[in-house]
Amino acid sequence: VSDVVQVVILAFRSSWRYFIFWILLVFSIVISSALNDWAGVYSAVKYIALAAVLLALLVFTPSSDLLLRIMMFVAVTALAAFLVVVIFLPEYMDRSVGRAGWIWMPAGVMWKAGVYLLPVLFWRLLVKDITYLTLVSFSVCVFLLAIDGSRTGAVVFALSVLLLSLIYVMRVGSYARALGILVGAILLAATARYVVLYCINYEAVVLVEHREAVVLVEHRETGDGIRLQMLKDAWHGAVGNFTWGGGFGSTVSYIESFGQPVVVHMAYLQVLSDLGVLGLIAYLGVLFYPVGVVLSRIMQTGVSAFDTLLLPVSVVSIYSFSGLLHPVSNEISEWFIVLVSIAIILKDSSHAKAS
């Protein structure tokens, strides 16, 4: 037991600066909760648990290659399961206008099985010989995004391929290869979307029942107006609760068509309104400190760190970007892949300092 404790202490000491942000985040949750009748105090326990998981991952850190293989397996399994549902169990499909999924991986979830892999697979298409495995894996991820119909996923795809193409041109200088693969990726995405729209009837808004589980997918015609109302409500909350916040989970928007309060789909404004400025600083530190570590490593070592850490930094960056369009989460199902990626980055940094 003492050996395990020593290993955990060493893991914490190697990344203690980063864990300051987690401590501040938990502190801000407790303070904002105490000042607002203990609203949302349970989230402090959840974030402590997430920090504990990260600490454990720093002790038992997987390699980037292992993470890549596991994520590829998950993506292929997600697509295969969806195809089985479409062909043999259509009654369990989850369909809405422009989006689809199934009862255990509905629209809004399926795109996450593939989106984190897109940057590293596209980069491999750029810098290495195009292999069957890489091309098929990239296509699987693109089809997952096409099936889900996530606008966040579409933006991430566009930004990823454009940014990586630019980096490739600056690094290698081959305009022709970058342009060819970029155009090919865009055509693949457009084709995937067309095939999905043609093969699956999105238009019917259906009610899917599975035992006691009920999934009702709302029509998205008024989605942008709803999102704007959410941002307005979050901004008013942030201004009124700038110092200490109104308590975790207190920032909601009252949308008449929903008939109940809904969580604001903008994590950073939500955190500012819920936890105040200290909570926002802590949350930004939790997400962006690892990205800063990678940038520092790239400046020190050049392209080697970029190639080694592209997958974990892509995961953290995409999750951080999605916070602009999605609510904050304290669930391990959302955070686990991010925590694994952060652990890989921090472990690489500690090894670099030791050497």
Rounded-to-integer distance, Cα 99 and Cα 107, Å: 6
The mean per-residue pLDDT over the stretch 156-175 comes to: 92
pLDDT, tens only, 293-307: 999 988 887 777 888
Among 170-184, 221-235, 337-351, the minimum mean pLDDT is found in 221-235
What is the predicted pLDDT for the residue at 116? 97
Among 80-94, 212-226, 232-246, 262-276, the minimum mean pLDDT is found in 212-226
Contacts of 85 (CB under 8 A, 6+ apart): 92, 93, 102, 103
Give the closest residue to 327 by CA, choosing from 249, 236, 220.
Answer: 249
Statement: residue 7 has pLDDT above 80: yes
Statement: residue 194 has pLDDT above 90: no
Rounded-to-integer distance, Cα 49 and Cα 117, Å: 26
What is the predicted pLDDT for the residue at 258? 65
What is the predicted pLDDT for the residue at 263? 86
What stretch of H or E contains 95? strand 93-96
pLDDT band, very low/low/confident/very high, at 96 (cuts 50, 70, 90):
low
329: burial class by Cβ within 10 Å (0-12, 13-18, 19+)? Answer: middle
What is the predicted pLDDT for the residue at 224? 61
Whole-structure pTM value: 0.90
Rounded-to-integer distance, Cα 51 and Cα 282, Å: 13
Pinpoint the alpha helices (H) of 116-174: 118-127, 132-148, 151-172
What is the predicted pLDDT for the residue at 203? 47
pLDDT, tens only, 101-152: 888 888 888 899 999 999 999 999 999 888 999 999 999 999 999 988 899 9
The mean per-residue pLDDT over the stretch 178-204 comes to: 83
The mean per-residue pLDDT over the stretch 4-25 comes to: 92
